[in-house]
Chain A
Amino acid sequence: MTPAKAPTPLADGTPALTIEGVEHSFGSTRALEDVAFAIHPGEFAVLLGLNGAGKTTLFSLITRLYHSRSGSIRIGGFDIRKRPSQALAQIGVVFQQPAIDLDLSVSQNLRYHASLHGMSRRVTEERMEAELNRLEMLDRADDKVRQLSGGGRRRIEIARALMHRPQMLLLDEPTVGLDVNVRQAMIDHVRGLCQGEDIAVLWATHLIDEIRDGDRVIVLHEGRVLAFGSVGEVTLSAEATTITEAFTNLTGKGET
């Protein structure tokens, strides 16, 4: 298995991410209870939940920062517990908190990430050029990350997450702290990736207006999945007319 090669499309219909019966507790506090859903290649799935709903905990389990004790998490068919290396090679992650070396240049950050995936120098340079080009940031490759705006840093983190050509992109509230225009540009960019590259995307947010028709929606509330399906299905199941209304009906709370 080489993490550096292009993703092979899961032609057999294997979901990019399968979560079944996942639970997690911190001490006596239940953070997640019987969480289950699946995302297929090319799907843009919004993990919708208020702060404290368990989104970050779920991300930590999928990325193996926490060990999942019960249930199963499979990435492209690889169980995260049994074959962590193969599973992790297939995901790109953008964490909630920016996790990028501010004093290093954009290219140094990207090269560091590529080395963590064992990518060769030649492949690294090729991918770096391609990813930065796509973001129209190639001319900033030698700039220190500190010199970039908040939106610029986030875009670099997305470019970094894509360096090793993952089949699945995980983003934990990536638009927090960005202004409206930058936020929109970023969502459009990731949606473009999802369609153009057939990448599965799991996008965690508490902002309902980031959902578009055609997305998959997972409503997570107090550690439980209250609804899962297309925008229409979730709306219908909550006996609502809009997804906003559906969220309010399901959780008993409005958008924060």
Chain B
Amino acid sequence: MTAAHYLRCLRGIVVREALRFLHQRGRFIAALVRPLVWLFIFAAGFRSILGVSIIPPYETYVLYEVYITPGLIAMIQLFNGMQSSLSMVYDREMGSMKTLLVSPLPRWYLLICKLLAGVAVSILQVYTFLIIALFWDIDTPPVGYISILPALVLSGLMLGALGMFLSSAIKQLENFAGVMNFVIFPMFFASSALYPLWRIKESSLILHKICAFNPFTHAVELIRFALYGQINTFSFMYVLAFLTLFLGIAIYGYDPSRGFTARKGGPAG
């Protein structure tokens, strides 16, 4: 196997994922409507209730809409990561996971390709969202549109790896409602997506600790700083560490010799 083989494999997986995504127009629209509802309705309602003081990376008082934009971007990626993981469970039941896994390329590489393909789709969603947000007066410094890209790749990988780890560990993710309840909602609300951490600290110290531990918080902060051309080193390291952790477990989970697949029950037939 040469580098060319690896690259062709990556290209093939990304192309397939993109084609499938383009065929599911409903999924694309849903992925956009969700953060836009938060931005247009929720943020408008909360604007007057929640004051946000000047905290880095902001240099002036910002509107609540501006504050939650990075959180909504991370939410797009969180949903996308969970959706890919569900589609992996679906793929596994439908058999297309098998066509992937019988490829002669190493399995860890196939999984990373699959992750990257999911991240590419999520980045497409994020930029579409940012363009619409632009018309809602969410002013982002021009450099932010470029500097956000590496942050999106890293946070997308981390959230995608979380989904992949869940899909390898849980044989049947019953439906999306289960994932919403037990993964998406807790991660999203117990984070700095909707309110700054110092505000949470005023209400509850324990909740503050949970939020500060939540890797989603650091995905949000990484994106928030990147949107202003800055890097939040701590969040960067934190997201990187959790990416390594989740990816490690996911690769373990899909390894035929050690993983969860070997121990779980056999074929139905």
A and B co-occur in one complex: yes
| Contact between chains at B256 and A85 (CB < 8 Å) | no
Contact string, A1-39, partner B, CB cutoff 8 A, digits 1/0?
Answer: 111000000000000000000000011010100000000
| Contact between chains at A85 and B1 (CB < 8 Å) | yes
Contact string, A86-119, partner B, CB cutoff 8 A, digits 1/0?
Answer: 1111010101111111011000100111111111
Q: In whole angstroms, how far apart are the Cα atoms of A132 and B167 in the complex?
A: 35
| Contact between chains at A60 and B100 (CB < 8 Å) | no
Q: How would you classify the secondary structure of chain B's contact residues: helix, strand, loop or mixed?
A: helix
Which B residues from 98 to 132 make CB contacts under 8 A with A?
A: 98-106, 110
Q: In whole angstroms, how far apart are the Cα atoms of A99 and B255 in the complex?
A: 21
| Contact between chains at A115 and B12 (CB < 8 Å) | yes
| Contact between chains at A112 and B15 (CB < 8 Å) | yes
| Contact between chains at B104 and A26 (CB < 8 Å) | no
| Contact between chains at B1 and A65 (CB < 8 Å) | no
List chain B residues, Cβ under 8 A from A115.
8-9, 11-13, 15
List chain A residues, Cβ under 8 A from B5.
2-3, 117-118
Report if A120 contacts B (CB, 8 A).
Answer: yes
Q: In whole angstroms, how far apart are the Cα atoms of A91 and B256 in the complex?
A: 18
Report if A214 contacts B (CB, 8 A).
Answer: no
Report if A63 contacts B (CB, 8 A).
Answer: yes
| Contact between chains at B261 and A104 (CB < 8 Å) | no
| Contact between chains at B102 and A104 (CB < 8 Å) | no
Minimum CB–CB distance from B129 to chain A (whole Å) comes to: 25
Minimum CB–CB distance from A27 to chain B (whole Å) comes to: 7
Report if A230 contacts B (CB, 8 A).
Answer: no
Report if A67 contacts B (CB, 8 A).
Answer: yes
| Contact between chains at B269 and A85 (CB < 8 Å) | no
Using A52-B269, A57-B267, A66-B262 as known contacts, say yes or no to A112 and B95 having CB atoms under 8 A apart: no
Using A56-B267, A104-B19 as known contacts, say yes or no to A118 and B99 having CB atoms under 8 A apart: no
Report if A51 contacts B (CB, 8 A).
Answer: yes
List chain B residues, Cβ under 8 A from A81.
257
Cβ-neighbour of B257 out of A2, A67, A95 (below 8 A):
A67
Using A63-B102, A85-B105, A99-B98 as known contacts, say yes or no to A120 and B265 having CB atoms under 8 A apart: no
Q: In whole angstroms, how far apart are the Cα atoms of A252 and B106 in the complex?
A: 43
Interface centre among A26, A99, A103 (most CB of B within 10 A): A99
Report if A64 contacts B (CB, 8 A).
Answer: yes
Q: In whole angstroms, how far apart are the Cα atoms of A59 and B15 in the complex?
A: 29
Minimum CB–CB distance from A34 to chain B (whole Å) comes to: 18
Report if B94 contacts A (CB, 8 A).
Answer: yes
| Contact between chains at A108 and B102 (CB < 8 Å) | no
Contact string, B86-103, partner A, CB cutoff 8 A, digits 1/0?
Answer: 000000001110111111
| Contact between chains at A118 and B106 (CB < 8 Å) | no
Report if B236 contacts A (CB, 8 A).
Answer: no
Cβ-neighbour of A99 out of B11, B13, B95, B265 (below 8 A):
B95
Report if B26 contacts A (CB, 8 A).
Answer: no
| Contact between chains at A67 and B256 (CB < 8 Å) | yes
Q: In whole angstroms, how far apart are the Cα atoms of A95 and B94 in the complex?
A: 10
13 contacts between A and B (CB under 8 A): A2-B5, A3-B5, A51-B269, A57-B266, A63-B101, A85-B106, A91-B102, A96-B95, A100-B96, A100-B99, A115-B12, A118-B1, A118-B6
Given contacts A60-B266, A88-B103, A114-B12, 9 further A-B contacts (CB under 8 A): A66-B262, A67-B255, A67-B257, A93-B99, A97-B95, A100-B99, A101-B96, A118-B104, A121-B8
